Structure 1
Amino acid sequence: MATVSRVVNNNPNVKPQTRKKVFEAIERLGYRPNAVARGLASKKTTTVGVVIPDISNSIFSEVARGIEDIANMYHYNIILCNADKKKEKEIRVINTLLEKQVDGLLFMGGAVTEDHIQAFKTSSVPVVLCATADEQRVIPSVDIDHEKAAFDAVNVLLQSGHTKIAMISGTLQDPANGYARYQGYRKALEAANIPIDEDYVRIGNYRYESGMDVTKHFLELDERPTAIFAATDEMAIGAIHSLQDSGLRVPEEMSVISVDNIRMASMVRPQLTTVAQPMYDIGAVAMRLLTKLMNKETKDASELTQVILPHEVIHRNSVAQRS
């Protein structure tokens, strides 16, 4: 048994002839090491739990790809769990993953509540927040500055001469994609001395259909906006199609801009001007940070409390100069 263990774990202290015999026996018997037993012996399962809000959303799938690539590099396996941005399901999934003795946990979600933080604090393994953050900044996280990303997007419209700028926001209970981006919108208008018109702000659910529906509301106003800032690309694409269905030309009669830079942003016509999040990098950096914490490569986790990655405005064809 000891010899087989040394061969399976690539211990160099095994004669080549013995190693060959063991591998021949493994192949003949179809032997697979018992991961549970190995985990009990080593107190490591080389497995990381990942909680994702919506696997069908291309934004999160890109983050997951970054996580997976770095996990493979450091020889970790991934258990991916979809939680639908529902608090009760998120807490249940977190506890289930911890019960399965994962070595670390990556959490992508919406609001990080006290219940979430309590679950993380009682965890015996490291936790890293990915594409989100908690308000107190007590849990290590990797994200962008969502408020600044929204501010920069609205500034593109302001610099193009627009003053009647509407927003399709995410839920304000969502600290990143919702509230922070709404705050960026407000601050950009305030910096330009443009009063906030509450009729120009409506809440969507991040999906294409809500972008279409909210845009119809803007078109029914007595004084239409000349530009729309959407909190996500998917809602922005819904807005573009709603405008086109109404016979309006984008961007000649209405400009549209958003945040995310999903693949569809360059496929829609006109191509969508947007603020790019480095989604793959967010996943990759979060996973690398988690490996450092799991392997105790850093002495002070507080130094790694919040990693902010840069965003970038991608100029395409959905914003026009206002004459």
Structure 2
Amino acid sequence: MEKQNVTIYDVARESGVSMATVSRVLNGNSNVRQATKEKVLKVIDDLDYRPNAVARGLASKKTTTVGVIIPDVTDGYFSSLARGIDDIATMYKYNIILANSDDNPDKEASVLNTLLSKQVDGIIFMGNEINDDLRADFKRSDCPIVLAGSVDINNSVPSVNIDYADAVMNETERLIKNGNSRIAFASGSMKQDVNKEYRLKGYVSALENNNIKFDDKLVFETKGTYEDGYDLAEKIINDKITAAVATNDELAAGILNGMTDRGVSVPQDFELFTSNNTKLAKMMRPQLSSITQPLYDIGAVAMRLLTKIMNKEEIDNRYVVLGYEIVERDSTK
């Protein structure tokens, strides 16, 4: 008998039991005698039987598969979130289909539709920008969707994040207490709500709380890359800026190296805070002070929230905000 032709019927026949009994064994149903269970499992092993996930999904209306949309699999921030998602998915016996969107709105829509066509039971979306088109796609879908480490100012779908505004306010105020008044806000795209509506507002609040006038010339919008940060160092020096808050670690790394290569001493003459505390923050010299987000936990909690929605469990909070900390390393005094 060829392995690829083995069916649940063959397992039942070889075991001398009904197909319903085989199904109960496969699904972990306790209402099967131990001797029968062992006999069926031995036949499954002997025949190298693999249940057909598609067929099981058609029968149960569930595929036990979750789609995860990630903007960049090489980004330490999102890959840390994905680890938390995967571990909880495994715990609840869900398989993961990981799809890379390249942080491109058109590709995000395409990837979302591809996952929906695969009849996934739920989707976890990680992305830097939630626009109206994407919200419309979310709304049209009957599939449960949860955002992980991604904000939507409209709260159109459940999400798990930290308080980004409060975190940036906290780190900016620490720079102010160190004697800095000309503090740059170095950001990725302002099309991203997390930067424009949360992080920037936290930065502005810190200035207001300390009677420092906001100067939009100290706000630098970039693509968030290392090269952008490195080039920005020249502008920071020319504008006599003594400290900066960066919205991601790659951008901060570029600023740090750009300043160091131009002869500026960090943190003696220039202080720098970053926002994601990925491995890069500790790999830099000097090591970067940072907001510390519970990245693994954000992913894990998002997956657990999705399982509750998929299983129609009662949910106390659809918009989860986890705690954060500030770690001060060698890029600040």
Conserved? CA contact 1:133–1:139, under 8 Å: no
Write the deviation string for residues 133-171 of structure 1: whole angstroms up to 9, x where unpaired: 222213111111111111111111001010111121111
For 2:247 and 2:136, how far apart are their aligned partners in 1?
Answer: 29
- Aligned-residue offset at 1:17: 4.0
For 2:220 and 2:118, how far apart are their aligned partners in 1?
Answer: 42
2:82 maps to: 64
Matches of residues 1-323 of structure 1 in structure 2 within 5 Å?
1=9, 2=19, 3-219=21-237, 221=238, 223-298=239-314, 303-320=316-333
Q: Count the aligned residue pairs.
A: 315
Q: Which has the larger radius of gyration?
A: 2
For 1:75 and 1:56, how far apart are their aligned partners in 2?
Answer: 26
For 1:24 and 1:308, how far apart are their aligned partners in 2?
Answer: 47
**Identity rate of aligned residues, in percent?**
47
- Aligned-residue offset at 1:179: 4.2
Runs of 5+ unmatched residues, structure 1: none
For 1:55 and 1:313, how far apart are their aligned partners in 2?
Answer: 26
Conserved? CA contact 1:173–1:179, under 8 Å: no
Q: TM-score, normalised by structure 2?
A: 0.90
Q: Say what the alpha-carbon RMSD is for the aligned residues.
A: 1.6
- Aligned-residue offset at 1:255: 0.8
Runs of 5+ unmatched residues, structure 2: 1-8, 10-18
Amino acid at match of 2:225: R
For 2:332 and 2:254, how far apart are their aligned partners in 1?
Answer: 16
Q: SS where residue 54 of structure 2 aligns?
A: helix
For 1:10 and 1:319, how far apart are their aligned partners in 2?
Answer: 55
Q: TM-score, normalised by structure 1?
A: 0.93
Conserved? CA contact 1:229–1:256, under 8 Å: yes
Which of 159-168 and 21-30 deviates more? 21-30
Alpha carbons of 1:126 and 1:94: their partners in 2 closer, same or farther (altered >3 Å)?
Answer: same
For 1:225 and 1:126, how far apart are their aligned partners in 2?
Answer: 46
Q: SS where residue 228 of structure 1 aligns?
A: strand
- Aligned-residue offset at 1:181: 1.2
Amino acid at match of 2:58: L
Which of 38-47 and 197-206 deviates more? 197-206
After TM superposition, what 4+ stretches of structure 1 lie above 6 angstroms from structure 2? Answer: none
Which of 8-17 and 123-132 deviates more? 8-17
For 1:62 and 1:314, how far apart are their aligned partners in 2?
Answer: 18
- Aligned-residue offset at 1:28: 2.5
For 1:225 and 1:16, how far apart are their aligned partners in 2?
Answer: 73
Amino acid at match of 1:122: R
Which of 142-151 and 3-12 deviates more? 3-12
- Aligned-residue offset at 1:73: 1.1
For 1:158 and 1:90, how far apart are their aligned partners in 2?
Answer: 39
For 2:168 and 2:215, how far apart are their aligned partners in 1?
Answer: 17
Conserved? CA contact 1:138–1:305, under 8 Å: no
For 1:85 and 1:35, how far apart are their aligned partners in 2?
Answer: 30
Write the deviation string for residues 13-45 of structure 1: whole angstroms up to 9, x where unpaired: 444444333333322322100000000001111
Write the deviation string for residues 290-309 of structure 1: whole angstroms up to 9, x where unpaired: 111111111xx6x5331111
Q: SS where residue 253 of structure 1 aligns?
A: coil
For 1:50 and 1:135, how far apart are their aligned partners in 2?
Answer: 21
Q: SS where residue 21 of structure 1 aligns?
A: helix
Amino acid at match of 2:319: Q
Amino acid at match of 2:309: L
